[in-house]
Copies of this chain bind each other. A is one copy, B any other.
Amino acid sequence: MGITERRERERQEIREKILDAARELFASDGYEAVTMRRIAEKIEYSPTAIYFHFKDKEALLRDLCDTDFAALATHFQTIARIADPIERLRQIGLAYVEFGLTHPNQYRFMFMTPRPPLSPDASAIERGNPEEDAYAFLRATIQQGISEGRFRPELQDADLLSQVVWEATHGVISLPICKCNDGWVDWRPVQGSAELVIDALIRGLTRKAE
């Protein structure tokens, strides 16, 4: 009975068409500037057809975020093999920055938009599991660094250190997103700023190598 399978396949195809169009428009013009009508026009459907496949406009963005977040987690897995915790920490930061730069709209949605708490069971990610939970992965790396005595002796709180590194890196990505086109500041490229922040922060947090 291949009929339901074909139906399901066709359904996924139009879903993908909608997502592709939305991704392209969100990326070029930003979430708010893109209208449902424009997405619909791009795929040559009526605007309301989208609502048959997605609950609302935000569901489109959320779907795109899920996809990209999974990609980030996968990317993190290649970093997991680095033995040295400090070098691994550095690579986590760089990967995070690259994610933010290549998916600015998803980044905005995920990390720069205050939102009501999501029901935890609604998330597909297992909290605390470093293979799925990116924060847990970061924290485990930091914890290893603490255990191996790589951080300055007064710094023993893995959560505090994790948050500080995350926050500083987040600032490098997010501030230019909000302020890049205000014409006030002559912004330096984010990539270079990010490397500088990560390296300087690591230098300032770690113990001197003997």
Known: A168-B168, A171-B167, A187-B163. A178 touches B113 (CB 8 A): yes
Specify how many copies of this chain sit in the oligomer.
2
Known: A186-B159, A188-B160. A178 touches B112 (CB 8 A): yes
A175 at the interface (CB under 8 A from B): yes
Residues of B within 8 A of A114 (CB): 30, 108, 177-178
Known: A114-B108, A196-B160, A204-B199. A175 touches B184 (CB 8 A): no
A169 at the interface (CB under 8 A from B): yes
A179 at the interface (CB under 8 A from B): yes
Chain B nearest CB: distance from A203 CB in Å?
4
A55 at the interface (CB under 8 A from B): no
A53 at the interface (CB under 8 A from B): no
Residues of A within 8 A of B (CB): 30, 108, 111-118, 120, 127, 133, 135, 155, 157, 159-160, 163-164, 166-172, 174-179, 181-188, 192-193, 196-197, 199-205
